[in-house]
Amino acid sequence: MPKASKQLSEFVQRVKKEPFEHALDEPVAMWTETEILNGEKVKAAVAIIRTRGCYWSIKEGCTMCGYFNDTVPGGVETEFLEQQWIEIINHFSDYKYVKIYTSGSFLDPTEIPKDFANMIMTDLVNYGVERVLIESLPEFVHERHMQYDKSPKIEVAIGLESATPIVLDKCVNKRLTEKGFKRACKAVHEIGGTVKAYILLKPPYLNEGHGIEDTIYSAKFAAPYVDKISINPVNIQKNTVGERMWRNREWRPPWLWSVIEVIEKCEKIGTRIYSDPTGGGTQRGAHNCGKCDSKILESLKDNRITGAKIKKPNCECRKLWKNLVEQAKYRRDGSEPEGYRRGFVG
C-alpha cells in the first residue's frame, strides 16, 4: 500500500471508538417512508438488522462512514439475527416495498448467513412483498449470493461514492475499481434485479466546487449501468474522519444549493436521479443559511417522489454559495469562514 494511503487508513482507524454494547436480539431501527413502486406512491418499510457490520470498516473503513457505531464487534449469532427478524417481520406485514439494511453488505455471507438471507426472502414473498432493497459492496454481488428459494424483485444499492479514482482513494479511502462496479451491476441485471448507485457529494477534503464537479462526473459515469442514482450529501457521523475535520473547522458538509446544482446538471443523463439528504437542514448535514432549508428539503422530497422540478427559493445566501463555488480553484480544502452560511461577511 502506498505511504499516503496507509496514513489515511491509519487515520480512519485512529478516530474510531469501540461501539457501545447493544442488545443482540433487537434491530438497530425500523421505520416507514414514501417510495415509488411500479409508478405508484407507496409506503415502504425499512429496517436495519444489527450485525458485525461492514468487513471494509473492520479492515480499514471510509472517512465519512460511522455506521460501525451500531454494530457488534465479533458478529451476531444466527439465532439472535432470527430474533431480530421476527420483530421486524411482525411490524412489516402489509407492505409491498421493503428495505433491509445491515450497516454493511447483505450479500456478504460472513455477515448475513446464506440460510438466514434465504429465510428473509421467503418470508417477504409469503407476506406479499413485491420488491426488496438491499445494500452491498460490489465484491459480494455475485449470482451465487442472490440465489434464493424464492424472493421479491431484488434491488441492490451499491456505494459507488465517486468515479474519480483519486477521490475514492484519498478522500473516501475506499477500494473500488471501474471494472468491479460494472461487473456487479451486470450481475444484478442478469438475475432480473435493479441497481441503485449511491454517489457522495463533497466527501472530506474536497471544497464546494470540486465536490459538485466530482459528483456530476460520477453520476454521468454511473448512469449507463444503473437504474437510479441517489446523491448523498456527506453528513457528519460520529467517530469519523469527517467529524474530526468538521470539529477542527477544516471541512464542512455541502450546501443544499450544491445538491440542487448537481441534480439540475444531471437531468438529461438518462437515469432517474434524486437526493434525500440525511440530516438535511442541520449543522451536521447539507444545509444553507437556515431560512431557506426547509423549503428546499420539501422540494427535494417532492422531486424524489413525483419527479417535480425543484423549486429554488429566493434567498440571499445563494450569493454566498456562488462565491464559495467560484473560489474552488483557489481554496485548498473544504472549509469556509466561520458563520459564512449565516451571513458572515468580511
Query: Own/partner pairs for 327-330, CB < 8 Å, 24+ apart?
Result: 327/207, 327/209, 328/207, 328/208, 328/209, 328/210, 328/213, 329/209
Helix (H) or strand (E) holding 158: strand 153-161
Give me the residue spans of the domains in the chain.
3-342
Distance between CA atoms of residues 12 and 14, nearest Å: 6
* Tens digit of pLDDT at every position of the chain (346 positions): 666 678 999 999 999 998 889 999 999 999 999 999 999 999 999 999 999 999 999 999 999 999 999 999 999 999 999 999 999 999 887 899 999 999 999 999 999 999 999 999 999 999 999 999 999 999 999 999 999 999 999 999 999 999 999 999 999 999 999 999 999 999 999 999 999 999 999 999 999 999 999 999 999 999 999 999 999 999 999 999 999 999 999 999 999 999 999 999 999 999 999 999 999 999 999 999 999 999 999 999 999 999 999 999 999 999 999 999 999 988 778 888 888 898 655 4
Q: How many CB atoms lie within 10 A of CB 14?
A: 9
Residue 345 in grid coordinates: 461577511
Residue 98 in grid coordinates: 421493503
Q: Give the residue carrying C-alpha cell 487515520.
A: 11
- Give residue 217's pLDDT: 98
* CATH numeric code, 3-342: 3.20.20.70
DSSP secondary-structure letter at 202?
A: S
Distance between CA atoms of residues 204 and 79, nearest Å: 39
The residues pairing with 37 across neighbouring beta strands, listed in sequence order, are 40
Q: pTM score > 0.85 for this model? A: yes
- Collapsed DSSP state (helix, strand, coil) of residue 228: strand
Cα torsion angle, 19, 160, 211, 319, sign: negative
Report H helices in 99-255: 114-126, 165-167, 178-190, 208-222, 241-247
Distance between CA atoms of residues 177 and 276, nearest Å: 26
Distance between CA atoms of residues 285 and 335, nearest Å: 14
